[in-house]
């Protein structure tokens, strides 16, 4: 009985992982570029938490500055994330 139950559970889990729920967007950011962008955003968030006044003194909007550096807009970033 336990073997049958585990076999059925295994089949259900295997078939449920096959279907793709989210389709890839047309303007998907390449993996390497997205990795670098996420790394820089993590550094930016750390800098914001330490001294946000100094950061905003040099940049009007630091997040959009990074998007411009990588040639990405915010909608493309959200779709790719």
Note the pLDDT tens digit of each residue in 5-39: 787 877 777 766 666 677 888 888 899 999 999 99
Provide mean pLDDT across the span 37-47.
Answer: 89
pTM over 0.75: no
CA distance 29 to 79: 9
Q: For the purposes of burial, counting CB atoms within 10 Å of the CB of 29, is it exposed (0-12), middle (13-18) or buried (19 or more)? A: buried
Would you say the C-alpha torsion 70, 72, 74, 80 has a positive or negative sign? negative
Q: Which of 36, 29, 42 is nearest to 79 (CA)?
A: 29
Task: Report, as an integer, the average pLDDT of 66-78.
Answer: 90
* Structure token pair of residue 43: 């550094």
Q: Predicted confidence band at 4 (pLDDT cuts at 50, 70, 90)?
A: confident
Q: Average of pLDDT values for 47-75? A: 84
Mean pLDDT of 36-64: 84
């Amino acid at each position: 009985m336990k073997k049958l139950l585990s076999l059925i559970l295994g089949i259900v889990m295997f078939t449920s992982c096959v279907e793709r729920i989210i389709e890839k967007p047309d303007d998907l950011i390449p993996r390497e570029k997205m990795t670098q962008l996420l790394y820089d955003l993590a550094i930016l968030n750390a800098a914001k938490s330490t001294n946000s006044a100094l950061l905003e003194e040099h940049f009007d909007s630091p997040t959009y500055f990074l998007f411009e550096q990588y040639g990405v807009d915010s909608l493309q970033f959200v779709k790719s994330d």
